[in-house]
């Protein structure tokens, strides 16, 4: 089981306290589902978990739950939501929840107090009218009246239409990229990634990988700055971002062969590379730093690089990556430090050459 998750626990309290009944038929759709012990405290038949973040999806699958990256058109008598922090993405998720609720179905959502629980509850109320709520674990769970039926909730259809479009893909940076709310640095070029791109030497060549590729900015820059790149694999744990990267890079004039992989980098890489670029994440949920993620990215990069292959990394200057870099690479140098970021090139050491036969024979004779 995963560690304690107060929002997940609180989301299921109305069912454990018999304030709401679990559907007898038809099950439930769980948007932004996360694995944890609350999902196993009793039977929740027919639960379908939608999760586009690969580590969370894999954790749910290991627990034996039904997981989809994106639910289709099917409607459910119950839709559960753990809304994200990003307001536009969260509102679009509420709209999806309402659209997926069948006649007489309900939407139940939960958010922690420090992630705007009251605002989240107010947003659902704007969309579907009065909601009931319960507060515990420094979280707030709230739910609609029955939807789409006579005498049920009064859905604001115009607001539903508006919110449904809030996280739609759109052009940014003068049309150079397509992005959408909820993706890292979705409406701008991340300054750390831009600093890394500016330092990439044009002579980089061979097979390359972008770890944590997002919507494809670094990959695009690598292809445009380094014509010697012959193949490029993009690894991204968030399926929504990976699809944007596919849109942004498909059709690029570079002759490099492209690969797009919905993949958790911390589990290792399947290929071998001459060049790896990365701006590794250092948060998952909440605001606390998670430098262990970046350290794992570095270790995985070292495992996947060919001898004399190079890692180009950008990170916040305070993040403690130096030990794993020195342990994993033959040469490490800081290329630039600017605006609180550091750019590091790390080159994998070549294996020691075996001694020439004459030298080995001389050593043997000395024994």
Residues 256 and 331 in one domain: yes
Residues 278 and 334 in one domain: yes
Q: Assess if residue 357 is contained within a domain.
A: no
| Domain end position, chosen among 164, 190, 215 | 164
Residues 129 and 182 in one domain: no
For residues 67 and 354, what is the distance between their CA atoms, to the nearest angstrom? 51
**pTM to 2 decimals?**
0.90
Whole-angstrom Cα Rg for the chain:
24
Q: Assess if residue 23 is contained within a domain.
A: yes
| Domain end position, chosen among 140, 164, 188 | 164
Q: Assess if residue 342 is contained within a domain.
A: yes
Residues 62 and 10 in one domain: yes
Residue length of the chain = 367
- Model confidence pLDDT, tens digit, residues 216-250: 999 999 999 999 999 999 999 999 999 999 999 99
Could you report how far apart the first and last alpha carbons of the chain are, in Å? 57
- Number of domains into which the chain is organized: 2
Which residues on adjacent β-strands are paired with residue 314? Answer: 343
Residues 81 and 111 in one domain: yes
Residues 14 and 85 in one domain: yes
For residues 343 and 192, what is the distance between their CA atoms, to the nearest angstrom? 9
For residues 238 and 119, what is the distance between their CA atoms, to the nearest angstrom? 25
Q: Assess if residue 354 is contained within a domain.
A: no
Residues 96 and 178 in one domain: no
pLDDT reported for residue 149: 67
Q: Assess if residue 294 is contained within a domain.
A: yes
Q: Assess if residue 153 is contained within a domain.
A: yes
Residues 80 and 138 in one domain: yes
Nearest residue to 168 via CA among 247, 115, 232: 247
pLDDT per residue rounded down to tens, the chain (367 residues)? 446 899 999 999 999 999 999 999 999 999 999 999 999 999 999 999 999 999 999 999 999 999 998 888 899 999 999 999 889 999 999 999 999 999 999 999 999 999 999 999 999 999 999 999 999 999 999 999 999 766 667 899 999 999 999 999 999 999 999 999 999 999 999 999 999 999 999 999 999 999 999 999 999 999 999 999 999 999 999 999 999 999 999 989 999 999 999 999 999 999 999 999 999 987 565 556 688 999 999 999 999 999 999 999 999 999 999 999 999 999 999 999 999 999 999 999 887 666 555 444 434 443 3
Nearest residue to 228 via CA among 112, 310, 167, 146: 310
pLDDT reported for residue 226: 98
CATH number at residue 220: 3.40.50.150
Residues 156 and 189 in one domain: no
Residues 181 and 38 in one domain: no
Q: What stretches of the chain adopt beta strand conformation (E)?
A: 28-31, 47-50, 66-68, 76-81, 101-112, 131-136, 139-144, 170-172, 177-179, 205-211, 228-236, 257-262, 273-278, 305-316, 331-338, 341-347
Residues 189 and 79 in one domain: no
Nearest residue to 107 via CA among 88, 89, 86, 126: 126
Residues 142 and 31 in one domain: yes
pLDDT reported for residue 185: 93
Range of the domain at 213: 170-347
Q: Assess if residue 291 is contained within a domain.
A: yes
Token duo for residue 86? 């990003």
Taking residue 62's Cβ as centre, other Cβ atoms within 10 Å add up to 11
Q: Assess if residue 363 is contained within a domain.
A: no
């Amino acid at each position: 089981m995963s560690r304690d998750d107060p929002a997940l626990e609180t989301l299921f309290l109305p069912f454990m306290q018999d304030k709401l009944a679990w559907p007898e038929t038809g099950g439930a759709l769980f948007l932004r589902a996360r694995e944890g012990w609350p999902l196993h405290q009793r039977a929740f038949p027919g639960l379908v978990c939608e999760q586009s973040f690969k580590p969370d999806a894999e954790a749910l699958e290991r627990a034996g739950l039904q997981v989809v990256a994106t639910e289709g058109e099917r409607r459910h008598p119950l839709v559960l939501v753990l809304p994200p922090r990003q307001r536009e993405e969260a509102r679009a998720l509420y709209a999806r929840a309402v659209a997926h609720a069948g006649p007489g179905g309900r939407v139940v959502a939960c958010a922690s107090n420090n992630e705007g629980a009251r605002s989240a509850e107010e947003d659902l109320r704007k969309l579907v009218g009065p909601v009931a709520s319960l507060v515990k674990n420094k979280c707030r769970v709230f739910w609609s009246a029955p939807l789409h039926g006579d005498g049920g909730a009064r859905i604001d259809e115009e607001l539903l239409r508006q919110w449904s479009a809030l996280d739609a893909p759109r052009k940014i940076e003068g049309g150079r990229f397509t992005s959408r709310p909820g993706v890292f640095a979705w409406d701008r070029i991340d300054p750390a990634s831009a600093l890394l791109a500016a330092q990439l030497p044009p002579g980089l060549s061979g097979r390359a990988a972008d770890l944590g590729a997002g919507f494809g900015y670094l990959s695009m820059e690598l292809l445009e700055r380094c014509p010697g790149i012959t193949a490029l694999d993009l690894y991204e744990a968030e399926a929504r971002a990976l699809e944007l990267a596919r849109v942004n890079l498909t059709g690029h004039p570079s002759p490099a062969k492209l690969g797009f992989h919905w993949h958790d980098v911390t589990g290792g890489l399947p290929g071998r590379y001459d060049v790896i670029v990365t701006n590794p994440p250092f948060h998952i949920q909440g605001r606390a730093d998670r430098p262990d993620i970046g350290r794992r990215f570095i270790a995985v990069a070292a495992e996947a690089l060919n001898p004399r292959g190079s890692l180009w990394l950008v990170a916040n200057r305070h993040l403690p990556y130096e030990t794993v870099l020195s342990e994993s690479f033959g040469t490490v140098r800081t290329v630039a430090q600017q605006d609180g970021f550091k750019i590091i090139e790390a080159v994998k050491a070549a294996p020691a050459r075996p001694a020439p036969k004459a030298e080995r024979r001389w050593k043997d004779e000395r024994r």
